[in-house]
C-alpha cells in the first residue's frame, strides 16, 4: 500500500507545485518590486478578481503549521480551530513572509473564531473586513453583499490610487475563470477507474497566489502529461474516498496522507482546498461585473452560511460523479459550524447515497495518527466487505 | 487444519486457535504486553499450540489484529480490531447490533447492521477517561489490586460524583474525596459510572439492542450495571470478552468467504 505512484509523478507535473511556496515567494517579491500591491487573503469568499483588477496580488495566508499553535495560544484561547491559531501564530512571530510583505489583509465575517481573531490581527496589520451576509437564499442579503463589494472596490481604488475599471475586472475574471477551469479539469482526472495521480498530488497542485501566469502553463502541462500517463496498477484497487469538511492548508495534509497510506484514494475533495471554490465560474460579459463576481462568491457552500443546503446538493452530485465508495469528513477541532453540519452530511451519505461515512475530528498535532489510521482502515474493510 | 487469530492490544496479547471445520476454539492464551512484542507473541503462540499437540505446519492461516498487528512478521495478513471485534462477537451473539468494547487503553462502540456488517463505529481518540486505564489509576491511588476494586464497588452504598472529564484531573479529585472521608467503595463505583458515561456520550445517540459488552473491563464487577444505566439499555457481557477480537481474527483467517477474505493473501 502507500502512495507508491507519486515517485513517477514527481519528475513531471507535480514537481513544480512542490516548490510552490518558493515560486510564489519569488513572484510576490518581483511583483512588489515592480509596484504591485500584495494583498493577504484567508478565505474562499474573498473576491480575488477585484483585488487583481486593482493591481493587487492576492496571496493566501492560511496557516497549516503546528509550530505556530503554541505561540498563538499565548494570546488566543486553546479551544479555537488550529487553522485560526496557526494563521495568527504566524503573525505574532512574523514568520509568514507573505504577511510581512502584505500591503493589506482582506478578510470576511465568516465563523466567530475567525472574526474575533481578525479583530486582534487588525490591531497589528492593515486590514479591511468585508461583511459577509449569511442568509444564503435571501435577496436582500445578496444585495447587501453586492454593496459590500462595491465599497471594497472603492476602498481599493483610494488605497492603491487606481481605477478599477470594468475592463480590468473583466480581464481578472477571465484569468480566474481560466485558472478554475484548469483546476477543475485536473480534478476531473480522478473520475477515472485508475486515476493517474493521488488525492495528495492533486492537493499539492495549488497555489498560494491566484492568477499566477506560470501556474497556468504548469496546469496545462500537467493535464497533458497526466492524461497520457499509464494508470497506476494499484490505484484501481483502492477504496474511492470523497473527502469533505474543512480545508487542508499547506502543512496540514496529515489526514489525506493517512487515508491514502491505508488503502484509500481521495478521488474528490469537497472543501476549500479542493473543488468547492472551483465549482462555479464568474459570468463574464454581464453589464455589471461586480454583480457577477458577487454571485459566484455568494454561492460558495461554506458551513458559515444558513441554510447551507447547497453543500449537501453538491456533495450528492460529486459522490455520484466521482463514484465515491465512502465519505470521510474532516473537522478541525472546535470548528463548530462544520461539526454541526456533519450530522446532515452523515445522514445524506448513509440514507441517500447508501455509502458509509466517517467523521474525523482532529487538529494539527500528530498524536492521534495511529488511531485515525485504525478507523480509516476499518472503514475500508467495511467498504470491501459490502 | 487450524486457524489462528492474534490480538496485539495496547496492554495484552491474546491468541485464539480454532478448528477450521467446527470453528470451535481449540486453544487460547493471553500474556501481558512487553517491550519485545514480537517475541512475547511468539512465545505465546508456541504455548497455545503446545496444548493442542499440533505444530505450526498445521496452522493454515494467521490473522493479526490490534495496535501491534503490523509487528508480527509471521502473520499472513492484518485486519483492524474493529472488523475482528465485530466478527468475534457475532460468533457467540449472532443478533448483536451494538458492541461496547472497553480495553486497557481505548474504548469503542461499534454498531452493526442486520447482517452483522460494521455500519459505524466511534473510538475514544485522545483521552483515557473512558477506558480501563482510569480504573487502574484509581486502583493505584487506593493501593488496591485491579481485581479487588470491582468487588469493592459491589459493596458501595452510593456512587461518588466524579465530575472531571479527564482521568488525570479526576485523580486529584479522588484525592480530595478521600481526604473528605468518602469511602473508597463509593469512589470506585463513581469511577465506573464515570467511565460508563464517557463511553455512552461517545456513542452519542441511543444505541440499538442487543448491546454486547467486550474487552477486559467487561470482567470488572459492577461495570455491566454502570453501562446499562448510562446506555439505558440491557447489556450482555460477551462470552470470553477479552478474546473476542482474537477469535474474530481466527474466524476471518478460517473463512475464505467471510467479510474480509478478499484481502487474505
Ligand atoms: S471553509 Fe468557509 S470560512 Fe473556511 S476558507 Fe472556506 S469559505 Fe472560508
Ligand atoms: S475550519 Fe471552521 S472554525 Fe476553522 S476557520 Fe474554518 S469555519 Fe472557522
CATH number assigned to the domain comprising residue B198 = 3.30.420.40
The number of domains in chain B is 2
Please tell me whether residues B104 and B234 are part of one structural domain. Answer: yes
> What's the fold here for domain A1-386?
Rossmann fold (3.40.50)
Is there a contact between A385 and B117 if contact means CB atoms under 8 Å apart? yes
Please tell me whether residues B116 and B57 are part of one structural domain. Answer: no
Please tell me whether residues B140 and B221 are part of one structural domain. Answer: yes
Region B140-165: mean pLDDT is: 78
Instruction: Kindly list the protein residues whose Cβ atom lies closer than 6 A to any atom of ligand 1.
Output: A 43-45, 110-111, 247, 272, 300, 302, 304
Give tens-digit pLDDT for A31-68. Answer: 999 999 999 999 999 999 999 999 999 999 999 999 99
Give tens-digit pLDDT for A14-28. Answer: 899 999 999 999 999
pLDDT at A125 over 80: yes
Region B242-260: mean pLDDT is: 80
Given the CA of residue A247, which atom of ligand 1 is nearest to it? Answer: 1
Region A165-183: mean pLDDT is: 97
pLDDT at A320 over 70: yes
**Model pLDDT, residue A133:** 97
| Residue A231 pLDDT class (50, 70, 90 cuts) | low
Please tell me whether residues B111 and B77 are part of one structural domain. Answer: no
- Compute the distance from residue A374 Cα to the ligand 1 centre, in Å: 29
pLDDT at A3 over 50: no
Nearest alpha carbon, ligand 2 atom 7: A111
| Residue B256 pLDDT class (50, 70, 90 cuts) | low
- When comparing pLDDT for B163 and A334, which is higher? A334
| Residue A232 pLDDT class (50, 70, 90 cuts) | low
- When comparing pLDDT for B184 and A195, which is higher? A195
**Model pLDDT, residue A26:** 96
pLDDT at A233 over 80: no
Q: Which residue spans within chain B are E strands per DSSP? A: 2-8, 12-19, 25-32, 59-65, 77-78, 98-102, 107-112, 118-123, 211-214, 235-237
Please tell me whether residues B99 and B229 are part of one structural domain. Answer: yes
Please tell me whether residues B201 and B228 are part of one structural domain. Answer: yes
pLDDT at B149 over 60: yes
Region A258-263: mean pLDDT is: 96
Please tell me whether residues B111 and B229 are part of one structural domain. Answer: yes
**Model pLDDT, residue A115:** 97
**Segments making up each domain of chain A, as ranges:** 1-386
Which residue range(s) make up the domain with B154? 95-238
pLDDT at A9 over 90: no
Nearest alpha carbon, ligand 2 atom 4: A81
Is there a contact between B121 and A378 if contact means CB atoms under 8 Å apart? yes
Region A329-333: mean pLDDT is: 98
| ipTM metric | 0.76
**Model pLDDT, residue A12:** 65
Give tens-digit pLDDT for B222-235. Answer: 899 999 999 999 99
Please tell me whether residues B99 and B2 are part of one structural domain. Answer: no
Which of A382, A383, A384, A386 to probe by mutation at the B interface, max B CB count within 10 Å? A382
Region B92-110: mean pLDDT is: 91
In chain A, whose CA is at the least distance from the CA of B127?
A368
Nearest alpha carbon, ligand 1 atom 5: A43
Q: Which residues of A touch B (CB under 8 A)?
A: 356-357, 361-362, 367-368, 370-372, 374-375, 377-378, 381-382, 384-386
Region B195-218: mean pLDDT is: 89
Pocket test residue of A108, A247, A339, A342 for ligand 1, highest count of atoms within 8 A of CB:
A247
**Model pLDDT, residue A10:** 44
- When comparing pLDDT for B189 and A191, which is higher? A191
Amino acid at each position: 500500500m502507500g502512495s507508491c505512484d507519486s515517485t513517477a509523478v514527481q519528475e513531471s507535473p507535480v514537481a513544480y507545485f512542490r516548490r510552490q511556496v518558493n515560486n510564489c515567494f519569488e513572484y510576490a517579491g518581483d511583483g512588489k518590486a515592480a509596484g504591485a500591491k500584495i494583498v493577504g487573503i484567508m478565505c474562499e469568499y474573498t473576491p480575488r478578481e477585484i483585488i487583481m483588477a486593482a493591481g493587487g496580488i492576492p496571496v493566501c495566508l492560511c496557516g497549516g503549521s503546528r509550530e505556530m499553535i503554541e505561540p498563538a495560544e499565548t494570546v488566543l484561547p486553546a479551544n479555537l480551530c488550529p487553522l485560526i491559531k496557526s494563521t495568527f501564530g504566524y503573525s505574532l512571530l512574523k514568520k509568514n513572509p507573505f504577511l510581512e510583505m502584505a500591503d493589506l489583509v482582506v478578510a470576511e465575517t465568516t465563523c466567530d473564531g475567525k472574526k474575533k481573531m481578525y479583530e486582534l490581527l487588525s490591531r497589528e496589520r492593515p486590514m479591511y473586513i468585508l461583511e459577509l451576509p449569511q442568509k444564503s437564499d435571501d435577496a436582500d442579503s445578496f444585495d447587501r453583499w453586492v454593496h459590500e463589494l462595491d465599497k471594497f472596490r472603492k476602498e481599493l481604488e483610494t488605497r492603491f490610487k487606481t481605477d478599477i475599471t470594468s475592463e480590468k475586472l473583466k480581464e481578472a475574471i477571465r484569468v480566474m475563470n481560466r485558472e478554475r477551469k484548469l483546476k477543475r479539469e485536473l480534478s476531473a482526472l480522478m473520475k477515472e477507474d485508475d486515476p493517474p495521480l493521488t488525492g495528495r498530488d492533486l492537493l499539492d497542485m495549488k497555489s498560494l497566489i491566484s492568477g499566477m501566469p506560470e501556474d497556468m502553463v504548469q496546469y496545462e502541462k500537467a493535464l497533458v502529461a497526466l492524461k497520457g500517463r499509464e494508470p497506476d496498477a494499484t490505484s484501481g484497487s483502492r477504496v474511492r474516498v470523497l473527502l469533505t469538511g474543512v480545508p487542508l492548508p499547506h502543512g496540514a495534509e496529515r489526514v489525506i496522507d493517512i487515508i491514502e497510506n491505508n488503502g484509500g484514494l481521495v478521488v474528490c475533495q469537497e472543501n476549500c482546498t479542493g473543488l468547492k471554490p472551483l465549482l462555479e465560474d464568474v459570468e463574464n460579459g454581464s453589464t455589471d461585473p461586480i454583480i457577477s463576481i458577487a454571485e459566484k462568491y455568494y454561492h460558495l457552500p461554506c458551513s458559515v452560511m444558513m441554510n447551507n443546503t447547497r453543500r449537501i446538493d453538491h456533495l450528492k452530485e460529486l459522490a455520484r460523479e466521482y463514484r465515491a465508495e465512502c465519505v470521510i469528513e474532516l473537522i478541525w477541532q472546535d470548528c463548530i459550524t462544520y461539526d454541526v453540519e456533519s450530522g446532515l452530511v452523515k445522514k445524506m451519505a448513509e440514507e441517500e447515497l447508501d455509502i458509509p461515512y466517517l467523521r474525523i475530528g482532529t487538529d494539527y498535532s500528530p498524536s492521534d495518527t495511529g488511531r485515525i489510521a485504525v478507523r480509516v482502515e476499518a472503514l475500508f474493510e467495511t467498504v470491501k466487505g459490502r | 487444519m487450524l486457524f489462528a487469530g492474534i490480538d496485539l492490544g495496547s496492554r495484552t496479547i491474546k491468541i485464539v486457535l480454532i478448528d477450521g471445520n467446527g470453528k470451535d476454539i481449540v486453544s487460547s492464551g493471553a500474556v501481558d504486553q512487553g517491550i519485545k512484542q514480537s517475541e512475547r507473541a511468539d512465545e505465546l503462540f508456541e504455548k497455545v499450540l503446545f496444548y493442542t499437540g499440533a505444530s505450526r505446519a498445521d496452522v493454515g492461516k494467521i490473522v493479526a489484529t490490534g495496535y501491534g498487528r503490523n509487528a508480527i512478521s509471521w502473520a499472513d495478513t492484518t485486519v483492524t480490531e474493529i472488523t475482528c471485534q465485530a466478527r468475534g462477537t457475532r460468533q457467540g451473539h449472532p443478533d448483536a447490533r451494538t458492541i461496547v468494547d472497553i480495553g486497557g487503553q481505548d474504548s469503542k462502540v461499534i454498531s452493526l447492521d442486520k447482517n452483522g456488517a460494521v455500519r459505524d463505529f466511534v473510538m475514544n481518540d485522545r483521552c483515557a477517561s473512558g477506558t480501563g486505564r482510569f480504573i487502574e489509576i484509581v486502583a493505584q491511588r487506593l493501593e488496591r489490586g485491579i481485581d479487588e476494586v470491582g468487588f469493592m464497588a459491589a459493596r458501595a452504598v452510593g456512587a461518588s460524583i466524579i465530575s472531571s472529564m479527564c482521568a488525570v484531573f479526576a485523580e486529584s479529585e479522588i484525592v480530595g474525596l478521600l481526604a473528605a472521608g468518602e469511602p473508597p467503595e463509593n469512589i470506585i463505583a463513581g469511577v465506573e459510572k464515570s467511565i460508563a458515561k464517557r463511553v455512552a456520550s461517545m456513542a452519542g445517540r441511543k444505541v440499538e439492542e442487543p448491546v454486547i459488552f467486550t474487552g477486559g473491563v467487561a470482567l470488572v464487577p459492577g461495570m455491566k450495571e454502570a453501562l446499562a444505566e448510562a446506555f439505558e439499555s440491557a447489556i450482555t457481557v460477551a462470552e470470553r470478552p477479552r478474546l473476542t477480537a482474537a477469535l474474530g481474527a481466527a474466524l476471518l483467517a478460517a473463512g475464505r468467504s467471510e467479510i474480509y477474505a478478499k484481502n487474505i493473501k
